[in-house]
Amino acid sequence: MTLELLRPAPLVLWKEPVGESTLALAIPVEPAVASSANADLSIPTASLGVDLSAEEDGFGVRSGLFVAHCLERPKGGGICSVQGAFPCAPNEGFSITVLSLGTFGEIALGLAPPRAEAFPPGTLPPKDAAPAADGAVAVMPDMVGWTANEVGFLGDHGSCYMLSRQVGRNISKPWAVGDKIECGIDSVGGVYFTHNGKVVTELSTHWRLGLAYPTVTMRSAGARVELNFRGIEPKPLPRRPAATGAAAATGQPTLQLLAAFKQVSIPEKGQKPGPGVPLLERLFGRCSSLEMAR
């Protein structure tokens, strides 16, 4: 059998100013259609304060693999961040490999809402952040996990934060160069983290789809990581950076997809209270008579 090797589509970097910062969106150009069922598709990302480059091999860009470099800590005490365009669903995950710790090893990965839309008007906007046209704040000042509606694993101390609070004691030793860290969602909607292939924590809470965008943050100058977003499938809900004014992608609205996700993936007997399963959603998410659940 002969396999046809196709050159993946190149990525172009489109930028739009956001106050004193720049929000960059890497988007694929003319995606290639491969003959294999395991075709490698270009994966869009959004980044802030990061030198982001797609890795290349003998056949061109290796889609879904990126190297993110925090050249210097952003002015005003901010952070460098990279966020995938599609949220994690059950049995999906992403990983980073530490290439350089930088000054203090302040690197983290986790799950968060779209960071360009995480703080609507009137809800604790970050300092010195310029609002977008619709009022959403486009700059996040904290490491992933330090803010409400986020969960993160931090490498300088090996600690885990969920909803802005530390979860127990440190779950691993501080990260070192060469360490591989993974974050994902298990089959029942719980968040897990691994350190060099070993599961270091499993959070038995059904994490909401809209809060599950893969996010990497760095606060140490010189920190450098390889990101692997290949474990996250494209969905009809791509990330829409509010600051860019980009049109929302076509597809099912978030509420419809979230309701369908709960029906299929989370049995009622396995449901527990959590940030993604409020009371009204549990009452009405299973009603097949509702239009949103069809």
Tokens of 28: 């694929």
Q: Supply the pLDDT for residue 223.
A: 95
Tokens of 15: 């930028």
**8-17, 51-60, 168-177 — which is least confidently predicted?**
8-17
- For 30, the 3-state DSSP assignment is coil
- Domain 11-246 belongs to what topology? Jelly Rolls (2.60.120)
Alpha-carbon separation of residue 238 from 143, 164, 214, 259 (angstroms): 22, 25, 12, 17
Domain boundaries defined on the chain: 11-246, 252-294
Question: Is the pLDDT score of 258 beyond 50?
Answer: no
Q: pLDDT for 92-139, tens place per residue?
A: 999 999 999 999 999 999 999 987 654 443 444 444 444 433 333 334
Q: What are phi and psi of 260, to 5 degrees?
A: -65, -40
Q: Supply the pLDDT for residue 52.
A: 78
Residue by residue, DSSP assigns 161-191 as: EETTEE-SS--SPPP-TT-EEEEEE-TTS-E
Tokens of 46: 């959004």
Question: Letter for the amino acid at 85?
Answer: A
CA distance 165 to 255: 27
User: Which position has the token pair 């609002």?
Assistant: 131
Do residues 206 and 268 make contact, with C-beta atoms less than 8 angstroms apart?
A: no
Rounded mean pLDDT of 139-165? Answer: 88
Question: Is the pLDDT score of 75 beyond 70?
Answer: no
Task: Flag whether the pTM goes above 0.75.
Answer: no
Q: How many residues does the chain have?
A: 294
**125-134, 181-190, 236-245 — which is least confidently predicted?**
125-134
